[in-house]
Amino acid sequence: MTQMLFTHNALDRAAHLRRNPARLDALRHGPDALVAGFWRDLALLRDGRALLAQGNEAARLMELASHVVFLGLHQDRPIFALDLAKMAAEADQSPPQWEKGAVWGELRAIGAALPPEDSTILATGRALVNWHRTHVFCGRCGGPTESREGGHVRVCLDQTCGAQHYPRTDNAVIMLVTDADKVLLHRQPAWAAGMWSILAGFVEPGESFEQAVARETFEETGILVGDIHYAASQPWPFPASLMVGFTARATGGQLVVDRHELEDAQWFSRADIAAHFSDSHRNDGSGRPYLARPGSIARMMLDAWLPG
């Protein structure tokens, strides 16, 4: 079974170093520093891997950075994520050129093709860099904020305010809803033709995960669920979600698809899926439906259920 994307233990977050600015500064300019660059949410890659620059290349990227975040230690080396938004786009608005062989990639598209540790490092960096870029002003008073603790806090510089802001993580539930030998799958209008997956939705303020599972399932499909159990979780930094996976059992209701949210929802038995779904994880041109791609928590939960 393919490991879930973005869950490799690639980073020792070394949080104790965040509160030591002098040490962090020395690490940042030291010979062991590794840096991952981002430009408008695109990550810098080379030779099919994350481009983790070091030495002279790292120093030159550092000079172009508008935000620097200490991600932790990777194989005992300090690693930093950089927002390279100051680099100008090319005349045709394509991403800026870097050194020979360097390319920019959208992690959502290329994450599964990278080594698992690289995907995890880039997911963490992308989430934090995006958070800095969108929180340069205080949400309480509108004053400017400044990065502290290696980029894990932003502090409002207005002296009467001084609010501390922490990186956002938006909780979303994703649920494998079953009824005996059947699983409830759905399609969203924005998805590639033929792809089906399990239901998901954001947790609302004042709600538990289990309540969100029951509410979202009922709102989107009219199905009532119980027997809700935690299964696994997956960071999904596009831009800041954490997918929290649950299994749930249908206890009543009738399948009525909310067409504002979903294109379709249907029950499928294991035999239906075995007989009619393509093994491919993309539209293979056959017109057959297929399941969410390997590496996603949706697919991991489906693969765990399918053998029966």
Instruction: Choose one: 27-35, 157-165, 239-247, 286-294; the region binding Zn ion (CB under 5 A).
Output: 157-165
CB of 271 to Zn ion, least distance (A): 59
Nearer to Zn ion among residue 162 and residue 226 (C-beta): 162
Binding-residue pattern over the window 117 to 146 for Zn ion, x denoting contact by CB under 5 A: ---------------------x-xx-x---
Residues within window 162-191 making contact with Zn ion, judged by CB under 5 A:
163
CB of 140 to Zn ion, least distance (A): 5
Nearer to Zn ion among residue 86 and residue 140 (C-beta): 140
Nearer to Zn ion among residue 163 and residue 262 (C-beta): 163
Told to check if 156 binds Zn ion by CB under 5 A, we report: yes
Q: How many residues touch Zn ion (CB under 5 A)?
A: 8
Q: Which of 155, 161, 224, 240 binds Zn ion (CB under 5 A)?
A: 161
Nearer to Zn ion among residue 12 and residue 158 (C-beta): 158
Nearer to Zn ion among residue 87 and residue 155 (C-beta): 155
CB of 135 to Zn ion, least distance (A): 11
Told to check if 203 binds Zn ion by CB under 5 A, we report: no
Q: Which residues pair with 38 in a beta bridge?
A: 43, 83
Instruction: Choose one: 86-94, 123-131, 156-164, 166-174; the region binding Zn ion (CB under 5 A).
Output: 156-164
Told to check if 154 binds Zn ion by CB under 5 A, we report: no
Compute how many other C-beta atoms are within 10 angstroms of the C-beta atom of residue 6: 25
CB of 159 to Zn ion, least distance (A): 10
Nearer to Zn ion among residue 126 and residue 132 (C-beta): 132
CB of 81 to Zn ion, least distance (A): 25
Three-state secondary structure string covering the chain: CCCCCCCCCCCECCHHHHHCHHHHHHHHCCCCCEEEEEECCEEEEECCEECCEEHHHHHHHHHCCCEEEEEEEECCEEEEEEECCCCCCCCCCCCCCCCCCEEEEEHHHHHHHCCHHHHHHHHHHHHHHHHHHCCCECCCCCCEEEEEHHHCEEEECCCCCCCEECCCCEEEEEEEEEECCEEEEEECCCCCCCEEECEEEECCCCCCHHHHHHHHHHHHHCEEEEEEEEEEEEEECCCCEEEEEEEEEEEEECCCCCCCCCCEEEEEEHHHHHHHCCCCCCCCCCCCCEECCCCCHHHHHHHHHCCC
Contact status, residue 133 vs residue 83, Cβ threshold 8 Å: yes
Q: Which of 32, 57, 117, 158 binds Zn ion (CB under 5 A)?
A: 158
Which residues contact Zn ion (rule: CB under 5 A)? 138, 140-141, 143, 156, 158, 161, 163
